[in-house]
A and B are shown apart, each in its own frame.
Chain A
Amino acid sequence: MEIFLVYLKVFAVGGALCALGQLLINKTKMSSARILVSFMLLGVLLEITGAFDYIREFANAGVTVPITGFGSTLAKGALEGAKEDGLFGAVTGGLKAASAGLASVIFFGFVFALIFRSRSKKI
């Protein structure tokens, strides 16, 4: 039962974030890159204010799977780096924490682009 509740919260919060994004698309005609950037910066903001941890405790993947999670990882890494290694950590920390995501997206992008090609659409 408890696990059911966890997934329900994930669904609700994740869905709400995406619906908010759709609202922005409908209202402002933002392109997908702009939407992604604004939500990532939202994640950074939530992380430095400390709100992100509370939301994550409540919604788990509902807030880490959206691109807000990527922003929070970057900000969290930078803050931790600054605490541990001073200026050097402040500069490298964010990228270090986000390296798993960045490395995998570049690697998979390269490999799939070698194998597949884009197709024309009918709708």
Chain B
Amino acid sequence: MIAKDAYKRYVEENSPKSPMWRSMIAAFVVGGLICMAGQGVHDGIAAIFPQMAEEEVGAWTTVVMILFGAFFTAVGVYDKLGHFAGGGSIIPITGFANSVVSPAMEYNREGIFFGICAKMFVIAGPIIVLGIVASVLVGIIGLFL
């Protein structure tokens, strides 16, 4: 039959591709809106607690956005948003929450121990591990600056 690389080339050239512009516009709009919601949360917290330090407001904003992401995942909305927006709902911090909550929910039938707790990081694990490794390396570099 046909040679391996010839077939591979055929598949690469002929398999259907993602609609480039439509998907990027959807990602742009949804991602932008989520960031605006984040800014809204930030400004709201700053208005309610005027004495709060800027860093603390930022931390609270993250917590609230994660709560939103987790909640909309739990009620089954976030996957539909992701189906539409792709990168627009993956890259904001709500997408990070989604990548932790969705496997936790998926595996809750296997129990709390080996289901929820063990499987919670099947997708977000690399983000946390690499993030912490990077931060330690950055800190050690920081010692010499």
Contacts and interface: CB of A to CB of B under 8 A. Distances in A.
Interface of A: 6-7, 10-26, 32-37, 39-41, 44, 47-48, 60-62, 64-67, 69-71, 73-75, 77-79, 81-83, 86-87, 89-91, 93-95, 98, 100-102, 104-106, 108-110, 112-119, 121, 123
Give the secondary structure class of B's interface. Answer: helix
15 contacts: A10-B35, A21-B31, A22-B26, A35-B91, A36-B91, A40-B130, A66-B92, A87-B140, A94-B139, A100-B59, A104-B67, A105-B96, A112-B74, A113-B105, A116-B105
Contacts, number: 284
Interface of B: 17-18, 20, 23-36, 38-39, 42, 58-63, 65-67, 70-71, 73-76, 79-80, 83, 85-88, 90-93, 95-97, 99-102, 104-109, 112, 116-117, 120, 123-124, 126-128, 130-132, 134-136, 138-143, 145
Given A18-B88, A64-B58, A123-B83, 10 more contacts: A11-B33, A18-B30, A19-B88, A22-B26, A36-B91, A65-B39, A74-B132, A93-B139, A100-B59, A118-B102
